[in-house]
Chain A
Amino acid sequence: MYRYDEFDHAFVADRVAQFRDQVTRRLSGELAEDAFKPLRLMNGVYLQLHAYMLRVAIPYGTLNSNQMRMLAHIARKYDRGYGHFTTRQNIQYNWPKLSETPDILADLASVEMHAIQTSGNCIRNVTADHFAGAAADEVADPRPYAEILRQWSSVHPEFSFLPRKFKIAVTGAERDRAAIQVHDIGLHLKKNDKGEIGFAVYVGGGQGRTPMIAKKIRDFLPEEDLLSYTTAIMRVYNLHGRRDNKYKARIKILVHETGAEELARQVEVEFAELKNTELKLPESDIQAITTYFALPPLAERPEGWANLAGWKKADPDFARWVQQNVQPHKHPDYGMVTVSLKPIGGIPGDASDSQMDAIADLAEEYAFDEIRISHEQNIILPHVALADLEALYRGLVSIGLATANAGLITDIIACPGLDYCALANARSIPLAQEISTRFGNPDRQAEIGELKIKISGCINACGHHHVGHIGLLGVEKKGAELYQITLGGSGDENTSIGEIIGRGFEPEKVTDAIETIVNTYLSLRKDASEIFLDAYRRVGPQPFKDALYGSNAQAAA
C-alpha cells in the first residue's frame, strides 16, 4: 500500500498543528462558531444529535493492521469503544470530544491517516473496488489511480470550494463492485484493442433527493490523461454548477440540465487546453505509484485444496461461511474473505475496539497485513490462503464476526439514521436489526439467495436505498417515522434506481412488508438461480404491489 513520503508526513503534521491551534482558539472563545465550523468540517468534525462525530478517511478503503489497531485505540481512548464503518469506506466515531480531536488527529497522523476532506464541498475520499488487486476478473488494480487522484485532489486550491461535495469511484473490473454509476465521476479501468490501459468515464451519477445514473462521456481515456481530463470535468462543473440552490448543486443536475453530449463537448474543449500540460501523467509516475500496490508474495499453497474439502465436510457452519464469504482470488490457492460486520440482529458496520484489534492480528497472521473496508460496510481480507481459512474462521468465530451472510438478505447496509444523525428523519439501525433477526435463519437466507437491502434515514441516501434490491427510506410524517419501500435498485454494472412500490409503512409493519415481498419473490421466481433482482426485472412491480396492497393491505394511510 501507499506509504507517506516526507512531504506527506510534514503536510499532515502541519495540518494537525493548525487544527490544534484552531480548536484552542475556539475553546477560549477567540474564534466564534461561525468562523470555526467550516474549519472543523475541513478536518472531518461534525456535530450530530448527541455529540461531535469524527469521520476518518480510509483511502479507497485500504489499510494495514497497524492502522486498524490505531482505529481501535482511538475508539478505546477517545470514544465509547467502537467505530462505524461507512458506505464510503471510511470510519466514523460518534462520541469524540472537540477538545480531544487534535490528539486523535495526531494519533492518526502517526499511522499515516487523517480526516482531511471527509466533509465540505471538495473532492472526498476516492473509493474503489474492495477486491482491488486480488480479484480474478480485474483488468488492472484501481488503487494506484485512486491514489494519484487522492494526491492530486488533496487541498487542491481550485477545487476546495466547489458548488457541492464531489465523489469519485474507480473500478478495475467489468463487474462493478464500486457502484461507479452513482458517483459524480465513475472510472472504469479497461484495456483497448491495443492492450493499453485507460478508463471509461462516467459523469453525473448520484443518489440523494434526485437519484441519477451517470452518463458515459468517454469510452476510452488513456491513463496518461487521467488528471487532465478529470481537471477538465472539474473546471466545467466549478464554472457552471449551480451555487444558487444547494439541492441542485451536484454535477448530476448540471449534466441533466446541460445534456451529457453538450457537457462532454465542454469537457473536451477544456481537455484540449490541458492535455499536454504538466497534468499529463508520465508512465514513470504511474509505475512508481503502482509499485506501492504490488501483490504480496503469494507462495504456492496447494495443500489448501485438500484441507478445505475435509474441513468443509467436518463442519457445515464452516462450509457455509466459505460458500458465502470467500470469493475466488486471482491466485488459485488463495481466497478473498469478507468479514461480515452484519451479525444477526447487530448494528451494520459497527465494530468494537477489541474486534478491530483482533482483525488486525488476523490480517497480520493470515492476510499479508492487508485489510479493506467495503462500501457495503464489511471488512475484507483480500489475500488469504485456502490452507489458512479454517484457522482464520476460528479466529473470527471467537470475536463474533463469522456470520456467513455476505450478499444475503441480512447483509444490510444502513446509515446511522436518527439514532445519531442530525439530518435524519427516521431511524435506520433498529429496522436493520429487526429485519436481520427475522431472516437470520441460515437455511432461510440461503433459500432466498442474493438480496441486497439498503436503508437510509433521510433523503440524502447515505444508506444507498436507491440502489438496494429492496430499499427503505425513512421519512417523518405527522411527527412519526414512516418508511417508503423501493424495489429493483442496483449499484453494479447494470445500475438501476429502485421504484417506489406504494404507500409507506409504519416502523412496526416494515419487516412484515419485507417478508411479503420475499415470499412473493419466492413464489414467482423461475428457479433458485433467478435472484430477486432478476425476478423483479422480469415481472415488474405489479405482483409485489398486489401482495402488499391487495385486499389484505397493511400499508399506512
Chain B
Amino acid sequence: MADKVLTANRLSDGISVWLDASGNWVESLQDAFVARHAEAVTALEATGKAAFADNKVVDVNVIDIEEVSGVLRPLRLRERVRAEGPTIDYAPGYKGLTGPVQAA
C-alpha cells in the first residue's frame, strides 16, 4: 500500500490544504499526517467526511504519496502541481501556491 495523506480545498478561499497530525488543515503538504497502514487510512477517510460535513473544506480526497529523503511527494503529477502550485511564473511577486514572496 502506498502511503497516503488527506487533502482538500478550504471552503472559504478554495486554497489547497492537507490534514496534519493535530487535525488541522494546513497549507503545506510537508506538514501533512501520513497514513502508512489501512487503519490510519480509514481514520483519514472518516476525518475527511466529517470535515466536509462540517463545512470546513470541499473536494476531499485521500491521495498516494511517497517519502523521498524526508520530503513528501505525491505520486500523481496532478497532486504534485496542487501541492507546489503552478509550475510557471504566473505573476510578479508570487511563487507557487504562496502569496507575495517575502523579502529576503
Contact at A49–B82, with CB atoms within 8 Å? yes
Chain B nearest Cβ from A102, distance in angstroms: 13
A94 to B15 Cα, complex, angstroms: 11
Contact at A479–B14, with CB atoms within 8 Å? no
Chain A nearest Cβ from B81, distance in angstroms: 6
Contact at B81–A419, with CB atoms within 8 Å? yes
Query: Is B68 interfacial (CB-CB < 8 Å)?
Result: no
A98 to B13 Cα, complex, angstroms: 5
Chain B nearest Cβ from A94, distance in angstroms: 8
**Interface hit among A201-209, A249-257, A425-433, A442-450:** A425-433
Question: A9-37 vs B: 1/0 string, CB under 8 Å?
Answer: 00000000000000000110100110000
Contact at A347–B90, with CB atoms within 8 Å? yes
List residues 474-493 of chain A with CB under 8 A from any CB of chain B.
476, 479-481
Contact at A80–B94, with CB atoms within 8 Å? yes
Contact at B81–A418, with CB atoms within 8 Å? yes
Contact at B77–A418, with CB atoms within 8 Å? yes
Contact at B76–A350, with CB atoms within 8 Å? no
**Interface hit among B18-26, B30-38, B41-49, B50-58:** B50-58
A29 to B94 Cα, complex, angstroms: 32
Would you give 8 A-B contacts (Cβ < 8 Å), ordered by A? A33-B58, A49-B16, A50-B82, A51-B15, A80-B91, A98-B14, A424-B78, A426-B77
Contact at A52–B93, with CB atoms within 8 Å? no
Q: Quick one: given A49-B82, A52-B14, A418-B81, are A347 and B88 in contact (CB under 8 Å)?
A: yes
Q: Quick one: given A50-B85, A97-B14, are A80 and B90 in contact (CB under 8 Å)?
A: yes
Query: Is B70 interfacial (CB-CB < 8 Å)?
Result: no
Query: Is A229 interfacial (CB-CB < 8 Å)?
Result: no
Query: Is A516 interfacial (CB-CB < 8 Å)?
Result: no
Chain B nearest Cβ from A390, distance in angstroms: 28
**Contact partners of A48 in chain B: CB under 8 A:** 14
**Contact partners of A82 in chain B: CB under 8 A:** 90-91
Contact at A350–B90, with CB atoms within 8 Å? yes
Contact at A352–B97, with CB atoms within 8 Å? no
Closest 10 CB pairs of A and B: A52-B14, A97-B13, A29-B55, A51-B14, A419-B86, A82-B91, A49-B82, A81-B91, A80-B91, A99-B12
**Contact partners of A94 in chain B: CB under 8 A:** 90
Query: Is B59 interfacial (CB-CB < 8 Å)?
Result: yes
A347 to B90 Cα, complex, angstroms: 8
Instruction: Identify A27's interface contact among B12, B16, B86, B88, CB under 8 A.
Output: B12
Binding site secondary structure of chain B: loop
Question: A64-95 vs B: 1/0 string, CB under 8 Å?
Answer: 00000000000000001110000000000010
Additional 14 contacts, C-beta under 8 A, given A80-B99, A82-B90, A96-B14: A32-B55, A33-B55, A49-B82, A50-B86, A51-B13, A52-B13, A81-B91, A81-B93, A82-B91, A98-B12, A352-B92, A425-B78, A433-B88, A476-B77
Query: Is A279 interfacial (CB-CB < 8 Å)?
Result: no
**Contact partners of B52 in chain A: CB under 8 A:** 33
Question: A33-65 vs B: 1/0 string, CB under 8 Å?
Answer: 100000000000001111110000000000000
Bin chain A's interface residue count: 35 or more
| Residue among B13, B15, B75 with max Cβ neighbours from chain A (10 Å) | B13
Instruction: Identify A430's interface contact among B13, B58, B75, B88, CB under 8 A.
Output: B88
Query: Is A544 interfacial (CB-CB < 8 Å)?
Result: no
Number of interface residues of B (CB under 8 A): 29
Query: Is B63 interfacial (CB-CB < 8 Å)?
Result: no
Query: Is A334 interfacial (CB-CB < 8 Å)?
Result: no
A426 (CB) vs chain B CBs: closest residue? B77
A97 to B81 Cα, complex, angstroms: 20
A257 to B57 Cα, complex, angstroms: 42
Query: Is B11 interfacial (CB-CB < 8 Å)?
Result: yes
Chain B nearest Cβ from A37, distance in angstroms: 8
B9 (CB) vs chain A CBs: closest residue? A47
**Contact partners of A80 in chain B: CB under 8 A:** 90-91, 94, 99
Question: A341-363 vs B: 1/0 string, CB under 8 Å?
Answer: 00000010010100000000000
Instruction: Identify A429's interface contact among B76, B77, B88, CB under 8 A.
Output: B88
A433 to B87 Cα, complex, angstroms: 12
Contact at B11–A430, with CB atoms within 8 Å? no
Contact at A352–B91, with CB atoms within 8 Å? yes
Instruction: Identify A418's interface contact among B13, B15, B78, CB under 8 A.
Output: B78
A427 to B91 Cα, complex, angstroms: 17
A234 to B43 Cα, complex, angstroms: 49
**Contact partners of A350 in chain B: CB under 8 A:** 90
A419 to B81 Cα, complex, angstroms: 7
Query: Is A131 interfacial (CB-CB < 8 Å)?
Result: no
A481 to B80 Cα, complex, angstroms: 13
Question: A409-432 vs B: 1/0 string, CB under 8 Å?
Answer: 000000000111000111101100
**Contact partners of A430 in chain B: CB under 8 A:** 87-88
A100 (CB) vs chain B CBs: closest residue? B13
**Contact partners of B12 in chain A: CB under 8 A:** 27, 97-99
**Contact partners of B97 in chain A: CB under 8 A:** 50
Contact at B9–A51, with CB atoms within 8 Å? yes
A202 to B21 Cα, complex, angstroms: 58
| Residue among B12, B15, B94, B97 with max Cβ neighbours from chain A (10 Å) | B12
Contact at A49–B88, with CB atoms within 8 Å? no
List residues 386-444 of chain A with CB under 8 A from any CB of chain B.
418-420, 424-427, 429-430, 433
Contact at B11–A50, with CB atoms within 8 Å? no
**Contact partners of A49 in chain B: CB under 8 A:** 16, 78, 81-82
Chain A nearest Cβ from B104, distance in angstroms: 20
A429 to B86 Cα, complex, angstroms: 10
A13 to B93 Cα, complex, angstroms: 34
Contact at B77–A481, with CB atoms within 8 Å? yes
